[in-house]
Structure 1
Amino acid sequence: MKTVQVLDKRFKLSISEEDIQKRVNEIAQQMNKDLEGKSPLFVCILNGAFMFASDIFKQITVENSSITFFRLSSYVGTKSTGKIKLIMGFTEDLANRTVVILEDIVDTGVTIQNTIEQVKAHKPKEIYIATLVYKPEACKVPVNLDYVGFEIPNKFIVGYGLDYDLMGRNLPAIYTLAEDE
């Protein structure tokens, strides 16, 4: 589909399903090399990263890999509130583990910075950060991203786990808000 309607907004195709899957495969293969022998714990940031995390994790061949989930909230409508709300924290022991944070989008950097601080409090051995989408123009805090799927302009997007007021997550491609074009 070239355009989609999500609630009261129209969105145009930005990143195809095929391009997403190709890039996810490339990231997973690089992770398999980088994480060999490390028994990594993947941390999926909910809700948005669930599709990215699922597609990455299905391709991870590193022995003794595991996955857990961490839930934060920072968006209302099409805008970040700038405030992070912890909804579901860790139940696993992260001490001395190699942790790979899987995020759907890094825009302001505030959410990923908060997540890194939360992970560091558990004293992991090392932390890797992977994001499907990065908006460098929107980033307000310095972040070190180890794996980036796509760098995009500072425009509002939906699809592949990303939502607009909880809708549009199920779209297999990524769409940009038409009025942002």
Structure 2
Amino acid sequence: MVTQREVAKKARVSIATVSRYINKVGYVSPEVKSRIKKAIKELNYIPNLVARSLKLKSTEIIGMIFPDIENPFFISLIKGAEETARKHNYNIMLCNSENKPEKEQKHLEMLKSRLVGGMIIIPSMSFKRALYESLNNENVVFVDRSAGLENEVCLKLDNRKGVAIAIDYLSARL
């Protein structure tokens, strides 16, 4: 596997400069960018995301726990999350709890162990608040159902208002 050290040597720059280029942090001159890009292509360099995630203690993955993969409502939320995540260079790891708190717990433990960058959680109908009490709320967003935690971020969907907007729209056209 090709390393940043080899890319730096071929591009005649420091490893720190290669790191800044790859991570898009700090200034790298256009001429140096061109040399690094050429070296990466010639060496077929692929960044080691595992090493990066261990160093940063995070990944470019957002875990998403939802209660029912067959429900069109959740499918549309998943599609929207995936499209938006992609725009920000994140990937979504999907976890279907099948409305079972025990599956929700297993997914939560797995996501925490994988060092995901954040979580979007749509709790099951019969979730247990204690399940979420150990979460660090700053990288967690609950959707549609609150977990009842202090300082949680919860996006509530206003279905009543949504239907009212739909009726207003249709009545204006009829």
| TM-score, structure 2 as length reference | 0.37
Higher RCO structure (Cα 8 Å, ≥6 apart): 1
| TM-score, structure 1 as length reference | 0.36
Question: Quick check: which one's helix share is greater?
Answer: 2
Q: Which has the larger radius of gyration?
A: 2
Question: Quick check: which one's strand share is greater?
Answer: 1
